[in-house]
Chain A
Amino acid sequence: MAPESQPMFDTDEIVLNMGPQHPSTHGVLRVVLRLDGERVVGSDVVIGYLHRGIEKLCENRDWTQIVLLTDRMDYVAAATNNVGYCQTVEKLMSIEVPRRARYLRTIMCELQRIASHCLWLGTHAMDIGAMTVFLYAFRERELILDLFEEYCGARLTYNSMRIGGLPLDIPPGWDKKVLAFCDIMDTKLVEYEQLLTHNRIWLERTKGVGVISAEEAVAIGLSGPPLRGSGVKHDIRKDEPYAAYDEMQFEVPVGEAGDTYDRYLVRIEEFRQSVKIIRQAIEGLPEGPITGKVPRLIKPPAGETYHAIESPKGELGYFIAADGKSTAPYRFRVRPPSFCNLQALPRLIQGHLVADVVALIGSVDVVLGEVDR
């Protein structure tokens, strides 16, 4: 509707419904768009299609049983959820986790970061049309899934942490395989970058799309790579170190323009930094026990706490209230990074074209399991 010129005929806004079944909404996400021609003038994001009531379920489960429920939230990077939960309970109970366990947790978290970013890269590129990158990224993700299968027997939902440490020690030769994987990953990253980073079409599709300034990003609750893409240097691994991150040397990539391209570059650089961290952790892996001193019956004293870690998607926080008497938490709350990042979507797609909506959903990198719990 051009206010400057007299419209020759009536134009209407069209309401377009994307999802919940849609090839590129990464899960059961529904975005209702109000379009003026091709331009988005308003949108509404509808979620809740994957709501399973995990929080209420966890309030009726043993402290140890909850670990495998947390797997199913961000199922793309399941070990990260496990680590976050176990660390929160360890904080409540003031349990000290031995150094070897902390190193192994770091390695698992970083492997998950690479796996999650592989999935992000593949699906994001495929949505924009570069379908080959999808296959390449999943080829690398398969290698990580194989590593995890060797460690704990599962490929997707690992149940790989316990309160106080890890349930299993790594099998012999596993660390050599991880190092071999790191070498492969370095060469493959070069491949991905060759296909995308300086590709004229990629640049045109992602530069200037979905720009959000640093202040707005902080205000609207973005965290993780979307926040860092806007120039805010906030990474919980550096600001509030947990596991073995305080002993690791790595950099936190930060973007400038806050557009899709910068978020892409931030995540690509995070790949490299994760490989660096894994190498350091494997080379410096100490000997020792893998579980701390944990009482047989886990019953944290009455109290509540909030603990956050840096999951591949952003700030993953757990708010757990224990009442000191029962074998289940009184209140179990997950602060899902994808949920809070998805909030920014209507603001991001405002004024863009329909094709950009898909690029932006990919750029924000949501996992609906986490959004809906």
Chain B
Amino acid sequence: MIDAIVLPLLKILVVLNAVLVGVTFMVLLERKVIAWAQARLGPMRVGPYGMLQPIADVLKLMVKEDITPAKADKWVFTAAPMIALIPALIVFAVVPFGPEVSIFGRRVTLAITDLNVGLLYVVSVTSIGVYGIILAGWASNSKFPLLASLRASAQLISYEVAVTMILVSMVVSAGTLSMAGIIDAQYQQGVWYAFAQPLAFVVFFIGGLAETNRAPFDMPEAEQELTGGFHTEYSGMRFALFFLAEYANMIVVSCVATTLFLGGWLQPFPNVSALSFLGFVPGWMWFLGKTFVFLYVFLWIRATLPRYRYDQLMRIGWKVLIPLGIANVVVSAVLKVLL
């Protein structure tokens, strides 16, 4: 009974809280990292070094007036941000944060659950998030959001294909769809897939940038082009939910990338006994550290690169990434059979 109900509920509580707090602090992290890249300091006033800024932001958004445009489709308008946020959050159900540990004498896996089709679950759930964007643009009943949401949905669907191709090649390499199983496979094979399949790594990362609408693929939210994109008409808490959804997606992509390519919670060189002192750092800390590296690179790229124009973005998705993804599947399948 404890194993069946209480433990999963506790894990959900912990993970959900961690993710939501993490997402709000991502906002601060983004502002700080981008500010430092731009030779300035970022938020400094609220709390020491601006650390309490996210609390101020959340409070502000909660008390802000919730404006609904008169002709907007009320139910859809309200539901769209939720449809965008919820899939991003429920993906964390299959993310393995660490190995089995014993807490108070119980063996507990540091993952909410371990579906044996974990990767398939990830792909399908993240695809639902696109609906949130489309519905937001549609329900706003205004030209700018409509255009932006159409662009965003086209972009997301195109890059889904490339990302899915990569995931397929990972599955081929690892031999299993389960997330924990992939980590295990990397342990068994003694190499992180980032080094075994560098092309897949790069394509996945670029695809992940596009999936989360991050620069240089952030056309749909480019302020300069279409004044705020699909969330132009949103204010207050609903606007906050869109932003949370975007950052949650970023964290999801980073977590999945860590699991697939950087060995998840494995320490570097787990098979080398000389470096076993690294085992003192618990697995979930390695996991979080690697995820953080990905998040930092996301922010770094945003501060540095200009933005792709929409047609160039689609061209890259269809004419570059998808062929590379397919090639990668074929090559990894062939190598798997031969080796």
Contact surface of A with B, Cβ cutoff 8 Å? 14, 16, 22-24, 38, 125-132, 134-136, 139, 195-196, 199, 201-202, 204-205, 353-356, 358
Contacts and interface: CB of A to CB of B under 8 A. Distances in A.
Nearest to A362: B224
B224 A126 contact: yes
B117 to A, nearest CB: 37
B311 interface: yes
B301 to A, nearest CB: 11
Interface string B209-229: 000000110110011111100
B106 interface: no
What are the nearest 10 A-B pairs in CB distance? A129-B307, A135-B38, A129-B306, A24-B224, A130-B306, A355-B309, A128-B306, A201-B306, A127-B224, A132-B38
A139 B34 CA distance: 16
A353 B309 contact: yes
B303 A356 contact: no
Given A23-B224, A38-B311, A353-B311, A205 B40 contact: no
A165 B225 CA distance: 45
A38 B310 contact: yes
A202 to B, nearest CB: 5
B227 A204 contact: no
Contacts of B307: 128-130, 201, 205
Contacts of A130: 304-307
Contacts of B224: 23-24, 126-127, 129, 358
Residue of A131, A135, A199, A202 with most chain B CB atoms under a 10 A cut-off: A131
Contacts of B143: 14, 16
A355 B219 contact: yes
Contacts of A139: 39
A190 B148 CA distance: 36
Contacts of B305: 129-130, 199, 201
A125 B219 CA distance: 15
B49 interface: no
A204 B217 CA distance: 14
B188 interface: no
The prevalent SS among residues of A at the interface is helix
A138 to B, nearest CB: 10
Contacts of B215: 129
Contacts of A354: 225-226
A128 B39 CA distance: 20
A104 to B, nearest CB: 31
Contacts of B219: 355
A125 B303 CA distance: 12
B37 interface: yes
B195 interface: no
Interface string B237-268: 00000000000000000000000000000000
Contacts of A202: 306
Contacts of A22: 227
B308 A205 contact: yes
A205 B306 contact: yes
A131 B306 CA distance: 7
B37 A132 contact: yes
B276 interface: no
Nearest to A129: B307
B312 interface: yes
A136 B304 contact: no
B306 A125 contact: yes
Residue of B219, B222, B224 with most chain A CB atoms under a 10 A cut-off: B224
11 contacts: A14-B143, A22-B227, A38-B310, A126-B224, A127-B224, A129-B224, A132-B304, A135-B39, A135-B40, A201-B308, A205-B307
Given A16-B143, A23-B227, A129-B307, A201 B39 contact: no
Nearest to B302: A131
Contacts of A16: 143
Contacts of B304: 130, 132, 195
Interface in B296-339: 303-312
Contact of B225 (A14, A199, A355): A355
Contacts of A358: 224-225
A136 B39 contact: yes
A38 B147 CA distance: 9
A356 B40 CA distance: 30
A232 B278 CA distance: 65
A201 B219 CA distance: 13
Contacts of A204: 308-309, 312
A371 B219 CA distance: 30
B310 A353 contact: yes
Contacts of A129: 215-216, 218, 222, 224, 305-308
B232 to A, nearest CB: 12
Nearest to B311: A353
A108 B223 CA distance: 35
Contact of A131 (B38, B309, B311, B312): B38
A125 B218 CA distance: 15
Residue of B216, B222, B225, B227 with most chain A CB atoms under a 10 A cut-off: B225
B190 to A, nearest CB: 35
